[in-house]
């Protein structure tokens, strides 16, 4: 009498091995950043601007941390509050790793934004966010180095003029180098994932 051979265990084993192989390939795949990577990273000249209570903040004060540098203004009707709200969500997602990241908002409207006003505005989204202003000369030097576009536009309303400005978030590493630009509209999830990956790379160095 011929014995019937059961292929079920073999099929199951083959399927398990196939899944393991695919999973291994996926996990070994290099991480793909959502932001625009600057390669090689560009050194950013240290700058000093004013924050609340007459205090000075220098970019070098944030060495050993990742700096998320954003340019906006307190009268902005849409882009600025949306970006800061997204950065707040990023901090929430990072958890303890948020201590290794600094969010800095630099005004694009020094005529109306005093240091205290910008600092207070940024702190509304997160008490740890830093708001900066300064003289047009000092601000213009920072804008030009990073290629930030700033232009007043007549709004035709009692609210006064609007300011058209670069809306990307500049990612600066712990050594003061520009690593990446996160375009406006990048989700909090994608930003947090990119930062988590950068922090992992920092730990390996």
pLDDT in tens, 38-64: 999 999 999 999 999 999 999 999 988
Hey, what are 31's tokens? 């991480």
Domains and CATH numbers, the chain: 36-204 (3.40.30.10)
Residue 126 structure tokens: 């997160």
In b/e form, how buried is each residue of 37-61, taking b as 16+ CB within 10 angstroms?
eeeebeebeebebbbbeeeebebee
pLDDT on residue 202: 82
CA–CA separation, 177 and 52 (whole Å): 26
Q: Over the stretch 86-141, which tens digit does the pLDDT of each residue have?
A: 999 999 999 999 999 999 999 999 999 999 999 999 999 999 999 999 999 999 99
Are residues 132 and 105 in contact, defined by beta-carbon separation less than 8 angstroms? yes
Separation CA 62–CA 40 (nearest Å): 21
**Cα–Cα distance, 59 to 27 (Å, whole number):** 36
Instruction: Assess whether pLDDT exceeds 70 at residue 21.
Output: no
Q: CA 154 to CA 161: how far, in whole Å?
A: 5
Secondary-structure percent of the chain, ordered helix, strand, coil, rounded to 5: 40, 25, 35
Kindly give the pairing relationship between strand 101-107 and strand 66-72.
parallel
Select the more confidently predicted residue: 90 or 6. Answer: 90
Does pLDDT of 143 surpass 80?
A: yes
- Residue 17 three-state SS: helix
């Amino acid at each position: 009498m011929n014995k019937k051979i059961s292929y079920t265990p073999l099929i199951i084993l083959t399927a398990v091995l196939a899944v393991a192989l695919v999973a291994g390939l996926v996990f070994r795949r290099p991480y793909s950043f959502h932001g625009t990577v600057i390669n090689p990273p560009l050194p950013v000249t240290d700058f000093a601007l004013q924050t609340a209570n007459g205090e000075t903040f220098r970019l070098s004060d944030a060495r050993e941390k990742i700096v998320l540098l954003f340019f906006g203004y307190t009268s902005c009707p849409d882009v600025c509050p949306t970006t800061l709200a997204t950065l707040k969500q990023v901090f929430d997602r990072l958890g303890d790793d948020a201590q290794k990241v600094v969010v800095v908002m630099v005004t694009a409207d020094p005529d109306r934004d005093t240091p205290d006003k910008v600092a207070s505005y940024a702190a509304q989204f997160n008490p740890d966010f830093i708001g900066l202003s300064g003289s047009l000369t000092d601000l213009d030097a920072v804008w030009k180095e990073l290629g930030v576009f700033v232009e007043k536009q007549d709004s035709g309303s009692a609210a006064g003029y609007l300011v058209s400005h670069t809306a990307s978030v500049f990612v600066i590493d712990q050594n003061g180098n520009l690593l990446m630009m996160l375009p406006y509209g990048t989700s909090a999830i994608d930003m947090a994932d990119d930062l988590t990956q950068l922090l992992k790379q920092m730990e390996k160095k």
